[in-house]
Amino acid sequence: MPTRKQRRRSQKERRHEYETVWVDAEGNELEEPPEDAVAPPEKHTNGSKPKAKTTPQRGGRPARVPQAPSWRRAAKRSLLLGVGIFVVVYISNASHGNRTITAFGFAALYTLLFIPLTFTMDRWSYNRFQRRAAEQGQKPRKR
């Protein structure tokens, strides 16, 4: 007698088992497919196997072009960081008094320090992109 696991497997095999049924115009089931439904096998002109599709070596998408650096974008990013720092310091100083002022001070300090750092990183990556584009013979974008 089959075990429960074996019964489940056989039931699963029967559930997923299917066969193609061919029906003619009158609605009768046919044993073999009609002649017009059978597709002829593909023939290759040179007698060799079909070649697999090749994918590009360096990815299919073009490289992302960095935007020119701007102080406004750097300030927006640093404000997001400042809000995050404020929340972290506010939560971590739960037992101390005057935690709002302390959290605001740390957030303001980190925000002010992060603005020039972000601008410098953006400028570095943009200049690097410009140099690579010039080396490859592409037109560099104007600022």
Residue 88 CA to its chain's centroid (Å): 30
pLDDT reading at 143 higher than 60: no
CA angle 124, 128, 129 (to 5 degrees): 120
C-alpha distances (whole Å) from 32 to each of 7, 23, 66 are 32, 10, 61
What was the pLDDT predicted at 73? 94
In the chain, pLDDT over 70 holds for what percent of residues?
Answer: 75
**Does residue 106 contact residue 143 with C-beta atoms inside 8 Å?**
no
Helices and strands per DSSP (H, E), number in the chain? 3, 2
Candidates 33, 10, 14, 12; CA nearest to 22 is 33
**Averaged pLDDT for residues 33-60:** 60
**Averaged pLDDT for residues 137-142:** 62
Q: Which two tokens stand for residue 98?
A: 């005057």
The Cα diameter of the chain in Å comes to 89
Task: Tell if the pTM clears 0.75, that is, is over it.
Answer: no
Instruction: Give the chain's end-to-end CA distance (angstroms, integer).
Output: 80
In the chain, domain spans: 71-135
